[in-house]
Amino acid sequence: MRNFLKKMSGILLLLLCCTILSGCQSHKQTQTKHLTQIKVVSTTNFYGQVAQEVLGKHGKVTSIIDSPNVDPHDFTPTVATAKKVAKSNLVIYNGVGYDTWVKRLQGSKYLSVAQLVGAKDGDNEHLWYNPQNVERLTDALVTQYSKLLPQYRTDFEHNAQQYKQKLHQLDTKMDQIKHLKTKATIAVSEPAFDYALKAMGFHIIDNHFSLAIEEGSDPSYTDIAKLQNAIKQHRIAFFVLNKQSESKIVDNMVKLCKQEHIPIVKVTETMPSNDSYIEWFDAELNQILKIVKQHA
Ligand SMILES: [Zn+2]
């Protein structure tokens, strides 16, 4: 039923977009010629914030999903979304099925992070939790912005260079955690933070359980029992909770962790509004650093 409704709203949206677009298409072609400011749309705010850093004063980035109150996996675009996309010069999206709804709208130019980093369908889609992917996005943005406003290429290059330097603090912290940790086994409520965890050498024991939670289906009895036992036997160093989604089963797991004094690391899938990618990510890493320091 949910899928059917989603499809129907998609079709309606498409019809509306066509109407909007037929009105502004001719206008748009002349617009690009006298472009002075770049309008960028990002499906999600973590990429949007990075895109604004590289763009600097030469335009504005608008993010469609810009707070953890929306579950990106269940997002359906509105007419307002379609208008923003239609008016933009560049659309940044994640890809690999995460936010592909944006491809049904009519943007003039698309930049897919998945394509950029070579991610394929079926890969873990939370690509932004790998700082190296964001570094590659930074470079790709310089190329795209410079095509639109070639006179400001050096500005874009300079902004990107500065941003990449700041980004390295994440790699440094992840490396620190990697070498400090004494226990590598952990569990997660959802696979949102997995790229970061794997880069730090953690071994996730409940992939099956977390995938079911992410997909909104019930994990099997065996998967639940396995995780409960791992918690009761203190086999995991901590439990990573994606605060952004709700599940009774996960709530109970968190309760059990608290009973057993297993630390909870709280992450979100989407960046809180007005935060920055680096600070958001860094604060999540700090929770883990604190835990591994206590056991080092
Ligand atoms: Zn997710």
CA–CA distances in Å: residue 64 to residues 8, 102, 131: 21, 10, 21
Q: Which tens digit of pLDDT belongs to each residue from 121-147?
A: 999 999 999 999 999 999 999 999 999
d(CA 40, CA 52): 9
60 DSSP β-pair partners: 39
Q: How far is the CA of 38 from the centre of ligand 1 (A)?
A: 29
Torsion-angle region of residue 208: left (phi > 0), alpha (psi -120 to 50) or beta?
Answer: alpha
Q: Report which residue type is found at 128.
A: W
Q: Angle at the Cα of 255 (from 252 to 258), degrees rounded to 5?
A: 155
DSSP state of 16: H
Eight-class DSSP state of 105 = S
Distance 256 CA to ligand 1 centre (A): 23
Residues 218 and 167 sit within 8 Å (Cβ to Cβ): no
In terms of residues, how long is the chain?
Answer: 296
Q: Could you tell me the pTM of the whole model?
A: 0.89
- In the reported structure, the alpha carbon of residue 126 is separated from the centroid of ligand 1 by a whole-number distance in angstroms of 6
Percent share of the chain, pLDDT over 70:
89
124 CA distance to ligand 1 centroid (A)?
9
109/16 Cα distance (integer angstroms): 20
pLDDT category at 296 given cuts 50, 70, 90 is confident
User: pLDDT by residue (tens digit) across 219-272?
Assistant: 999 999 999 999 999 999 999 999 988 899 999 999 999 999 999 999 999 999
From the CA of 79, how far away is ligand 1's center (Å)? 24
Q: Residue 9 — pLDDT band, cuts 50, 70, 90?
A: low
Contact 230, 236 (CB under 8 A): yes
Q: How far is the CA of 53 from the centre of ligand 1 (A)?
A: 25
Distance 7 CA to ligand 1 centre (A): 21
Contact 250, 206 (CB under 8 A): no
Rounded to the nearest angstrom, the distance between the alpha carbon of 169 and the centre of ligand 1 is 24
Q: Are strands 203-204 and 185-188 parallel, antiparallel or unpaired?
A: parallel
The amino acid that residue 45 corresponds to is N
Domains present along the chain, CATH in parentheses = 9-21+36-168 (3.40.50.1980), 181-295 (3.40.50.1980)
245 Cα: distance to centroid of ligand 1 (angstroms)? 9
192 alpha carbon to ligand 1 midpoint, in Å? Answer: 5
Instruction: Pinpoint the alpha helices (H) of 200-276.
Output: 207-214, 221-232, 248-259
Residue 113: CB partners within 8 Å, gap ≥ 6? 47, 92, 93, 94, 95, 119, 127, 128, 133, 137
Closest C-alpha to 159, from 58, 36, 91, 281: 58
Side-chain-side CA neighbours of 142 within 13 Å: the count stands at 17
- The string of DSSP codes covering 21-38 is HHHHHHHHHHHHHT--SE
State the average pLDDT for the chain. Answer: 91
Query: Ligand 1 center to residue 71 CA distance, Å?
Result: 8
Bridging pattern class, strands 185-188 and 110-112: unpaired
